[in-house]
């Protein structure tokens, strides 16, 4: 949650970026707090990279302002901004050794030689790369290159660290290991960090707050769990994880419980909490697959259940995803954990009842 006492370290105010006719970023507002790890998450072409490049100073906003630590830097070139970036390709200087790479930024500040050496040693120690100091980048593995790139972007003690698809160039196994390691390093330094990624798992693992971008606009900002549990739109709900969305009409609203009628269900749909929609309005009611329970017999609840037939099963080891076809033809996904090895599991063509509690569902307004 935002700390009211301190002003944000990085602020984006009504920023719009147009390339010719095309608007890559549309009137975006953001406030990123000191020491926070913030992720810009979205598909390709959603404007997240353009926004990051405006923070770094490689692009200038068409409208609006970028503020770092309260100072307007919109027209300050990248080489004068207290911001450093780790590039997707790492962009290490191939003709320089590891330590020369890390020292590059410090040399630009004309620091005394001893100070540079000490800082380079400290940074390489931070990423456990001191023994590789004399190597050239082409003599390093992908993970080692990333460590050097991180050390180089942290060496100047930037006010804001920008990460562009930080794990994009690594293979899957190394990725999950490096995600946690990079977060540890960033947190130990205490730098404010903005990262761009298209990988929701990466964003949720690494970031304190995530913003979902779509078509140049920010759809939702929140902690990973807020975004997952309380998506505010169909787009966010579908982008993060998988979800079942029922088209429903508002039937009755009270501050504790909202009731909907849905053509797919024989009973009433109920969702905990009130809504500000009027009766009869068409909305979406969403339920995550892992919050849907399955049974062979009819559940003991009046609302939120439906009968269907098992259409498809995806066995994933730890859990299985069941695709259940309702009488209306709609297919609903439900997940079960495979706790017992010899359990009599539901199988294809089985008749099954799906049910969930009113606190599991969310209302989507748009």
Q: List Cα–Cα distances, 19 to 16, 23, 27, 57, 63, in angstroms.
A: 10, 6, 14, 16, 12
Cβ proximity to other proteins: between 89 and 225 the closer is 89
Residue 98 CB, nearest approach to other proteins (Å):
11
- Region of residue 110 (left: phi > 0; alpha: psi -120 to 50; beta: else): left
Question: Which of these segments, 73-81, 180-188, 208-216, 333-341, binds other proteins (CB under 8 A)?
Answer: 73-81
Are 139 and 94 in contact, with CB atoms under 8 Å apart? no
Residue 190 CB, nearest approach to other proteins (Å):
20
Question: Which of these segments, 67-75, 83-91, 186-194, 236-244, binds other proteins (CB under 8 A)?
Answer: 83-91
State yes or no: residue 95 binds other proteins (CB under 8 A): yes
Distance CA 301, CA 282 (A): 25
State yes or no: residue 83 binds other proteins (CB under 8 A): yes
State yes or no: residue 139 binds other proteins (CB under 8 A): yes
State yes or no: residue 195 binds other proteins (CB under 8 A): no
State yes or no: residue 61 binds other proteins (CB under 8 A): no
Total residues at interface with other proteins (CB under 8 A): 30
State yes or no: residue 58 binds other proteins (CB under 8 A): yes
State yes or no: residue 159 binds other proteins (CB under 8 A): no
State yes or no: residue 89 binds other proteins (CB under 8 A): yes
State yes or no: residue 4 binds other proteins (CB under 8 A): no
Are 11 and 55 in contact, with CB atoms under 8 Å apart? no
Question: Which of these segments, 30-38, 60-68, 103-111, 338-346, binds other proteins (CB under 8 A)?
Answer: 103-111
- Region of residue 122 (left: phi > 0; alpha: psi -120 to 50; beta: else): alpha
Residue 351 DSSP label: E
The CB density around residue 298, as the number of other CB atoms within 10 Å, is 10
Of 147, 152, 209, 214, the one binding other proteins (CB under 8 A) is 152
**Is the dihedral angle over the CA atoms 194, 196, 200, 206 positive or is it negative?**
negative
Are 71 and 84 in contact, with CB atoms under 8 Å apart? no
State both tokens at 257.
């419980």
Taking alpha carbons only, the member of 50, 48, 360, 35 closest to residue 219 is 48
Decide: residue 150, CB within 10 A, 0-12 exposed, 13-18 middle, 19+ buried. buried
State yes or no: residue 147 binds other proteins (CB under 8 A): no
Question: Which of these segments, 102-110, 198-206, 284-292, 305-313, binds other proteins (CB under 8 A)?
Answer: 102-110
State yes or no: residue 126 binds other proteins (CB under 8 A): no
Residue 13 CB, nearest approach to other proteins (Å):
22
Going by DSSP bridges, is the β-strand pair 209-214/37-41 parallel, antiparallel, or unpaired?
A: parallel
Cβ proximity to other proteins: between 84 and 146 the closer is 84
Residue 81 DSSP label: S
Of 8, 105, 224, 231, the one binding other proteins (CB under 8 A) is 105
Cβ proximity to other proteins: between 161 and 265 the closer is 161
State yes or no: residue 17 binds other proteins (CB under 8 A): no
- The residues that touch other proteins, with contacts defined as CB under 8 A, are 56-58, 77-80, 83-85, 87-89, 91-95, 104-105, 108-109, 134-136, 138-139, 152-153, 156
């Amino acid at each position: 949650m935002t700390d009211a006492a301190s002003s944000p370290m990085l602020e984006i105010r009504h920023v719009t970026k147009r390339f010719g006719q095309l608007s890559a970023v549309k009137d975006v507002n953001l406030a990123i707090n000191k020491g926070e790890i913030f992720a810009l998450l979205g598909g390709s072409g959603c404007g997240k990279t353009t926004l990051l490049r405006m923070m770094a100073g490689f692009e200038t906003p068409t409208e609006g302002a970028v503020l770092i630590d309260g100072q307007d830097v919109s027209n300050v070139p990248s080489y004068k901004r207290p911001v450093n970036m780790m590039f997707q390709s790492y962009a290490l200087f191939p003709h320089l050794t590891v330590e020369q790479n890390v020292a590059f930024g410090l040399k630009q500040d004309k620091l005394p030689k001893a100070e540079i050496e000490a800082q380079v040693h400290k940074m390489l120690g931070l990423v456990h790369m001191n023994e590789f100091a004399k190597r050239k980048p082409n003599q390093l593995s992908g993970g080692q290159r990333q460590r050097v790139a991180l050390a180089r972007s942290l060496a100047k003690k930037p006010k804001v660290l920008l990460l562009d698809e930080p794990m994009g160039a690594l293979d899957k196994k190394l990725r999950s290991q490096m995600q946690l390691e990079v977060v540890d390093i960033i947190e130990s330094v205490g730098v404010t960090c903005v990262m761009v990624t298209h990988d929701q798992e990466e964003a949720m693992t690494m970031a304190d707050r995530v913003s979902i971008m779509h078509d140049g606009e920010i759809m939702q900002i929140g902690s990973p769990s807020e975004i997952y549990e309380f998506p505010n739109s169909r787009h966010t709900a579908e982008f993060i994880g998988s979800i079942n969305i029922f088209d429903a009409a508002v039937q009755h609203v009270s501050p504790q419980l909202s009731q909907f009628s849905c053509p797919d269900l024989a009973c009433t749909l109920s969702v905990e909490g009130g809504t500000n929609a009027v009766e009869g309005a068409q909305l979406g009611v969403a339920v995550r697959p892992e919050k849907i329970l399955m049974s062979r017999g009819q559940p003991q609840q009046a609302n939120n259940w439906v009968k269907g037939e098992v259409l498809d099963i995806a066995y994933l080891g730890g859990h299985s995803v069941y695709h259940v076809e309702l009488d209306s033809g709609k297919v609903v996904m439900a997940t079960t954990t495979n706790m017992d090895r010899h359990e009599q599991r539901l199988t294809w063509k089985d008749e099954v009842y799906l049910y969930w509690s009113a606190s599991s569902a969310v209302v989507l307004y748009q």
